[in-house]
Amino acid sequence: MTEYSKGLEGVIAAETEMSFIDGKKGVLEYVGIPIGELSANSTFEETVFLLWNKKLPKKGELAEFTAQLRDRYAPPEQILDMIRTLPKEAGTMHVLRTVISALGMHDDDANANDLEAARQKSLTILAQAPALVAAFDRHRKGRDYIAPDPSLTFAENFLYMLNGKKPTETMARAFDICMILHADHGLNNSTFTARVVISTLSDIYSALTAAVGSLRGPLHGGANEGVMVMLNEIPTVADAEKYVMEKLANKDRIMGFGHRVYKAKDPRATDLQKLAKKLAEDTGNTDLYEKSSKIEEIMEREVGSKGIYPNVDFYSATTYHCIGLELDLFTPMFALSRLGGWSGHIIEQLTDNRLFRPGAKYVGPHDQPYTPVEKR
């Protein structure tokens, strides 16, 4: 192994049937279906079935999958007790990473990683993760835990457990679309992390815990929080021009722009932009959307020729804010969705596994003499 690619740029490390990306054309497909088709017509539950089974479910299959998911909404009481002991100032992603790991200690067969076990454990973790995030958010606010409602969809149930009331149809559908758009995206850093860990034939809990740790980084899923911080730093739409130009002059990063893969506008950003606009109008947050739109206009004029366009984080910030989520819940929402994608990749990896073991290019010295400590 003599070739070196920093950050594994351009290196193909896995085969997948789950998602296809054409960065130059701005295309994203799940199992061949354009993401826009799914966000317009599908549900998160159906999308996860598609990713795991490589086909859209028939009516009965979807009903069975949905029923299995809802039957597992409630997490172990011991995990809820643990959440009640956590520091209220803890970061929500740190909490999610910890409780997913802890779930493994309440599984009598946690190490099983045959394909059927992987599916069943993945389904349980996906079903329970929303309750765990909502439980911690309510704990830190001094509010009582709200048990999941198995009559509700994945999206409805999370917002119900978080806020204590059932969401409006518009809010629930908006959140459902966000879950669809974030579910999978090729061999991104956190997905690669999950596949690397499970390739050792470790357990599902370890692989998903590692993936959550990867996602929380500001160069990955944590970027959507940075977008909201940026929008709050700009007082009005009229101030956007000065803000962006100063950032560009100082070679500072404009959060939510640029992507390692896309050299055109991220197709997820296109769908989220429409969603953000509608939600902003419905919730009285048009200033946020207008600032976002103005920033995109300036960036296209200044750096669009370099292939720097909005990514999925840019409009997801406004969308999540309009839904009523607090800033440090933005990345956990990404994780709730991506648990579906990570699990699909884990199943795919186990189907035809080979341990990941890349080489490293040594750039240090050779044949150095050992110097006794008294002579150093």
Show which residues are catalytic: 220, 259, 313
Sign for the pseudo-dihedral over CA of 248, 254, 260, 264? negative
Residue 368 has a CB neighbour count (10 Å cut-off) of: 7
Burial class from Cβ neighbours inside 10 Å (0-12, 13-18, 19+) for residue 343 reads buried
Rounded CA-CA distance 124/310 in Å is 34
Cβ-contact 323, 279 below 8 angstroms: yes
- Give the closest residue to 268 by CA, choosing from 160, 276, 301: 276
* 162 Cβ contact list (under 8 Å, min separation 6): 133, 134, 137, 138, 325
Helix, strand and coil percent figures for the chain, each rounded to 5: 60, 5, 35
Q: What is the DSSP string of 146-162?
A: ----TTS-HHHHHHHHH
Say how far apart CA 129 and CA 162 lie, in whole Å.
12
310 bridge partner residues: 257
Give the pair of three-digit tokens for residue 76. Answer: 């172990």
